[in-house]
Chain A
Amino acid sequence: MAWLVVRLAISVSLFYTASAVFEDQVGKFDWRQQFIGKVRFALFDTHSQASKKLLVATDKNVFASLNSRTGDLFWRHVDKTGPEGHIDALLMYGQDAVVVAGNGRLLRSWETTVGGLKWETVLDTGSFQAAALVGVQDFVKYVAVLKKSAISLHDLSSGSQIWVENLPDSDTVQYQTIYSGGNGLVFVFGVVPNSHIVIVEYKIEDGEIMNKKSVEAAWMSSLESSCTVISSGILLCVDQITQSLYTLLLQSAEQTEMRQIHLQTLDLEVASGFQPVLTSTQPNPAQPPLSEFFLQLSPDHHILLQLKDGLIVPLRDFNPSYLAAFATSGERTVAAVMSPKNDTACSINLFSADTGRRHLDTTIIYHMDPNGGKPNRLYVHAFLKKDDSVGYRVMVQTEDLTLTFLQQPGRVVWMREEALADVVTMEMIDLPFTGTQAELEGEFGKKADGLLPMVLKRLSSQFILLQAWLAHLWKLFYDARKPRSSVKNEVNIDTLSRDEFNLQKMMVMVTASGKLFGIDSKSGTILWKQYLENIEPNSVFKLIVQRTTAHFPHPPQCTLLIKNKDTGLGNLYVFNPIFGKKSQISVPALPRPVLQTLLLPVIDQDYAKVLLLIDDQYKVTTFPSTKNILQQLQDTASSIFFYLVDSSQGKLSGFRLRKDLSTELIWEVVIPTEVQKIVAVKGKRANEHVHSQGRVMGDRSVLYKYLNPNLLAVITESTDTHHERSFVGIFLIDGVTGRIVHEAVQRKAKGPVHFVHSENWVVYVYWNSKFRRNEFSVLELFEGAELYNSTVFSSLDRPHPPQVLQQSYIFPAPISTLEATLTEKGITSRHLLVGLPSGNILSLPKMFLDPRRPEVVSEQSREENLIPYAPEMPIRDEWFINYNQTVSRVRGIHTAPSGLESTCLVVAYGLDIYQTRVFPSKQFDVLKDDYDYVLISSVLFGLFFATMISKRLAEVKLLNRAWR
């Protein structure tokens, strides 16, 4: 019965706190963008002319089908991260796509129209080398997979293994490539570096070795990219040092050494230090490849060659040319070559592969983005037009992972910014006011210059406001008359302005590839992008907002700490987050690696906050470093503290700034690395507001919160990973004094630990290895019934340790990431946003994570609105704020307050990006979406008329009575 009461209480409380989405709100203020990552393999479906499918496999272990007309995803399959999901090869034949994944561990065949798996086979272990489709008599039936020491052949329709053979001498020979020309044989090529090439011939039917030969090739170190098979079974290799091409007839017993052709005889030369690349094409896997091939001699020089009667003939020299690719449609094979046109554009032309003649009217102009990178991959989709000429479309991938799909004569059909598949960090910046608003603001900033001018100015600005309002009304009226579909709010960087509730912001996203994006949070439109070259990819970036938009006419300013690719040192990149322009401010040089950055509340005369950078010799660099700043820093130096974490030595140390900007070690906490290692350290967010100092208890007394702004939460994990002995530790350390405020250990627990540190609480999630489940634990700190010093908090003067309450709960799902909502003033109740591996984002009321949840319900706890304790946390479908718009591999959730207290802006990023708003306490400060204007006005009018009528009736009655 008690259990039932608890259940009932919980369900009742749920109805109060649920923050769910209504069906009519779908897409109203939220959007999702799906990404795939850097394309490694891309194949166009040439099976039928009308097919729009483009199959891609990426470095993010994603295999997807794109609509080549729009760039949208038909379907997408996200495999496991890391080497186990790594896609090694993608082959396509007809409706089926064969994928080798996990270093040759899995062979999968996908039905490409539906997006479902057709079959899946587990292969033997061994590092993957190559895979190829194998055809017999013009019909592709098998797929061959080459491993380091074995080769196997599989049936294409069922995946069943036909045969598997060990490769001879696999401990000395490095087998690297595979070739089949449809003549019943499979060739495997291996190399013994700087010695010889080994060629093994297998019979397709039973895997019998038909022939095995080794050919002298002392110059060769690797087969890949320097060798290819052309024509009817001729191995072609290129070598940079001897400046020669080598050919070898595969099926001839006589030829025992490779024939050398000096490049000089063809008037060619390989650029020094460049590894030449050979590209050939085999349009049909059941037939031998063409005898034409590309030879790349330098980064911007390709040449189309042909092997004819044992002679190599140059067909066409493309100098300069960036990229070249073959494509086949029907029986016709063409070559597309991209060459530079001018500084900002490239032209792509089509040439017939067998003659090298240019096709007329096939130029596509590709405009390079001045803020982007160079193109580095070209994928060509050729098709036959009605008049039997060859048409084509191209997909260009650039260094900054932009995919551009072009068609003649240079129209961009679609564009994808795949760098956004790997967002590292982000910030949300307020948009600036409109021109008129800014002018009004500017009026207050200026010094007074007499009474009359000020009055006049006031009046004129009021007039401007009136004008703007009238224009706005006129626009509203004008738009209302037009059909709804034609009214499209074109988001433009020039028309951007803050809305009345500051709900629309600029999302500044930093990606792992070093590309920065400015995205409008309302629509998801990319407003600016900037590719930073010379950045070490996948390094740590730190984005700091130094000046917000609040200081007109000073532009907002963001600073990004980046790592230079060449020097490996830190570097500051200062930019305007609204327009993405690089700022002209001179930045200090950072000669040593930066350990810690610190944004101080000290403001210089231009309203930019001061950034302190601490290098590995504990020297401090300030940015900006004007005299004014240095003066201010000297005054406040004694109250500036910072901490450094050295997880390799398990050391946490606190420093103080001296007046001469040197530093002084004041405390040190050593967590022995033999037992446990520091995993993460988090302070509180600087822009967080706490509205109430305490909590009112059931008996009307107040329990004051311990609101220490200097508190650090330190998470440690045991070095012993045995499930009986592993543990997770949490330390709450005061960042100024180094005092350990609290310490807790979860035994039989292990990471990964996700945690949120806010207000007076820390919530962390760990894996309970004994019971094999995820558990939430919440720590709340209270000062007690009395506040020691209610006006100001000082870490140096807090004699009483806080009371710590803790409670743990079972969370019935795995967790990817954790974040808490944030609002303007902190009045709204908090929710935790939990990113789940399923892609959903759960909005969990903090109310459920309250260590004061009672086990036995009492009158007082009911008064306080505490939910009775239940070990298992509920998960309800309604709490998923992103409904079916799942975010794959969610890695981070960014929350930002809006101008409305009830509303928190949420951006979840991972492989996808999802932006929405949440209302943890519902929309208490604005009218609800479904506010019934009709009802309220009809009731009002009804009452009004009722009073009028009754008044009239009463008058008549009075009159009648008077007459009586």
Chain B
Amino acid sequence: MRQMKRLLDVYVALQALFALSWCFTDADPGPAVGSQSNGERFKIEGRAIVPGVKTQDWVSTARILVEGEEYVGFVKTDGSFAVNDVPSGSYVVEIVSPSFRFDPVRVDITSKGKMRARLVNYIKTSEVLRQPYPLQIRSSGPHTYFMKRETWGWTDFLMNPMVMMMVLPLLIIVLLPKVVNTNDPEMRKEMEQSMNMLNPNPELPDVSEFMTKLFSKGSSKAGGGNKGSRSVALKRR
């Protein structure tokens, strides 16, 4: 729970930072998309980078899509690209590749041909978080198309808190009476003595009550673990 709270704190701090940055950047909306361009066409340029992968392994399947398929560009063998004949306006530029994921970028082109790139934010559309222009789009890794199968192993099974919770009390219940022969009156006396030694308070409840106490404590602990396990299970689904 404490960890959770800390996470929250971080989140709040982040949000504050975010708000701060938002205050500082001028919140001017991009040029209107429908502004009648006087036929002048511009070029969106940039470079796509997939860290650790040679360009020839992915350029043949990648494409640059500007605002859906409105304008299409191709990637050069060195990873750079250019989309020609784009009139002034505001566009979402996206690199699509079946194997690597790239984040889209919004590019604003004024009627004079000035360019700027910013993060895509569909909710606060006028927010400006500048990105470098000419675009530098770095892949955030390969697509994760597949779900992981829930695998089954003995360790998973045994380390499951539910199983642990079941097995441990079982051991205690089954083994404890075996180890300590309660039928022997001498032994019992000895045990009682030792109990009294441990707890100087003579009004302390007997062994059975002690056991239940122990169990309830264990179960509350296990309950916490249980919650965790459920969330794990949920994630697996």
A residues 69-90 near B (Cβ < 8 Å) are 74-75, 77-81, 84-85
Contact B147 A878, beta carbon cutoff 8 Å? yes
Measured between alpha carbons, how far is A311 from B59 in the docked complex, in Å?
Answer: 53
Are A24 and B149 CB-contacts (below 8 A) given A15-B237, A812-B120, A884-B98? yes
Contact B98 A810, beta carbon cutoff 8 Å? no
Contact B72 A839, beta carbon cutoff 8 Å? no
**Which single member of A122, A814, A930 contacts B67 (CB below 8 Å)?**
A814
Residue of A nearest to B80 (CB): A117
In the complex, chain B residues whose CB is within 8 Å of the CB of A15: 234-235, 237
**Which single member of A105, A773, A837, A889 contacts B85 (CB below 8 Å)?**
A105
Contact with B along A1-30 (1 / 0, CB 8 A): 100100000001001101011111000000
Contact A883 B72, beta carbon cutoff 8 Å? no
Measured between alpha carbons, how far is A119 from B67 in the docked complex, in Å?
Answer: 23
B residues 60-100 near A (Cβ < 8 Å) are 60-61, 63, 65, 67-72, 74-77, 81-82, 84-85, 90, 92, 94, 96, 98-99
Contact A878 B146, beta carbon cutoff 8 Å? yes
Check B32 for interface membership: any CB of A closer than 8 A.
yes
In the complex, chain B residues whose CB is within 8 Å of the CB of A21: 145-147
Measured between alpha carbons, how far is A78 from B63 in the docked complex, in Å?
Answer: 8
B residues 30-67 near A (Cβ < 8 Å) are 32-34, 43, 55-56, 59-61, 63, 65, 67
**Which single member of B59, B71, B147, B150 contacts A115 (CB below 8 Å)?**
B59
Measured between alpha carbons, how far is A935 from B146 in the docked complex, in Å?
Answer: 24
Are A20 and B69 CB-contacts (below 8 A) given A77-B74, A118-B77, A773-B122? no
**Size category of the binding interface on chain A:** 35 or more
Residue of B nearest to A810 (CB): B122
Contact with B along A814-858 (1 / 0, CB 8 A): 111000000000000000000001110000000000000000000
Check B21 for interface membership: any CB of A closer than 8 A.
no
Contact with A along B142-167 (1 / 0, CB 8 A): 01111101101000000000000000
Measured between alpha carbons, how far is A20 from B143 in the docked complex, in Å?
Answer: 13
Contact B74 A80, beta carbon cutoff 8 Å? no
In the complex, chain B residues whose CB is within 8 Å of the CB of A884: 98-99, 143, 145
Contact B56 A114, beta carbon cutoff 8 Å? yes
The smallest beta-carbon distance between B36 and chain A, in angstroms, is 10
The smallest beta-carbon distance between B209 and chain A, in angstroms, is 31
Measured between alpha carbons, how far is A838 from B96 in the docked complex, in Å?
Answer: 6
The smallest beta-carbon distance between B76 and chain A, in angstroms, is 4
The smallest beta-carbon distance between A460 and chain B, in angstroms, is 47
Measured between alpha carbons, how far is A927 from B72 in the docked complex, in Å?
Answer: 45
Residue of A nearest to B90 (CB): A772
Contact with B along A872-884 (1 / 0, CB 8 A): 1000011010011
Check B1 for interface membership: any CB of A closer than 8 A.
no
Check B125 for interface membership: any CB of A closer than 8 A.
yes
Contact A117 B75, beta carbon cutoff 8 Å? yes
Contact B152 A935, beta carbon cutoff 8 Å? yes
Measured between alpha carbons, how far is A4 from B12 in the docked complex, in Å?
Answer: 10
Check A330 for interface membership: any CB of B closer than 8 A.
no
**Which single member of B70, B82, B92, B144 contacts A120 (CB below 8 Å)?**
B82
Contact A877 B144, beta carbon cutoff 8 Å? yes
Check B8 for interface membership: any CB of A closer than 8 A.
yes
In the complex, chain A residues whose CB is within 8 Å of the CB of B68: 814-816, 837
**Which single member of B55, B61, B65, B92 contacts A75 (CB below 8 Å)?**
B61
Measured between alpha carbons, how far is A84 from B71 in the docked complex, in Å?
Answer: 9
In the complex, chain A residues whose CB is within 8 Å of the CB of B59: 114-117
Contact B145 A120, beta carbon cutoff 8 Å? no
Check A723 for interface membership: any CB of B closer than 8 A.
yes
Measured between alpha carbons, how far is A75 from B143 in the docked complex, in Å?
Answer: 20
Contact B122 A771, beta carbon cutoff 8 Å? yes
Check B123 for interface membership: any CB of A closer than 8 A.
yes
Contact A772 B33, beta carbon cutoff 8 Å? yes
The smallest beta-carbon distance between B79 and chain A, in angstroms, is 9
Are A877 and B101 CB-contacts (below 8 A) given A105-B85, A872-B123? yes
Measured between alpha carbons, how far is A932 from B150 in the docked complex, in Å?
Answer: 11
**Which single member of B65, B69, B125 contacts A773 (CB below 8 Å)?**
B125
In the complex, chain A residues whose CB is within 8 Å of the CB of B69: 80-81, 814, 816, 837, 889
Contact B147 A20, beta carbon cutoff 8 Å? yes
In the complex, chain A residues whose CB is within 8 Å of the CB of B146: 20-23, 878, 883
Measured between alpha carbons, how far is A838 from B101 in the docked complex, in Å?
Answer: 11
- 19 A–B contacts, CB within 8 A, in A order: A15-B237, A18-B237, A20-B147, A22-B146, A80-B71, A84-B85, A108-B74, A114-B56, A114-B77, A116-B60, A117-B81, A814-B69, A814-B92, A877-B101, A880-B143, A880-B145, A884-B143, A884-B145, A932-B152
Q: Taking A80-B72, A837-B65, A877-B101 as given, write out 14 further A-B residue pairs in contact, using a Cβ cutoff of 8 Å, ordered by the A residue number.
A: A21-B147, A75-B60, A79-B72, A80-B69, A81-B69, A105-B84, A120-B74, A122-B43, A815-B68, A837-B96, A877-B143, A883-B146, A884-B145, A886-B96
Top 10 A-B pairs, shortest CB-CB distance: A115-B60, A814-B68, A723-B34, A116-B77, A883-B145, A75-B60, A838-B96, A884-B98, A116-B59, A23-B146
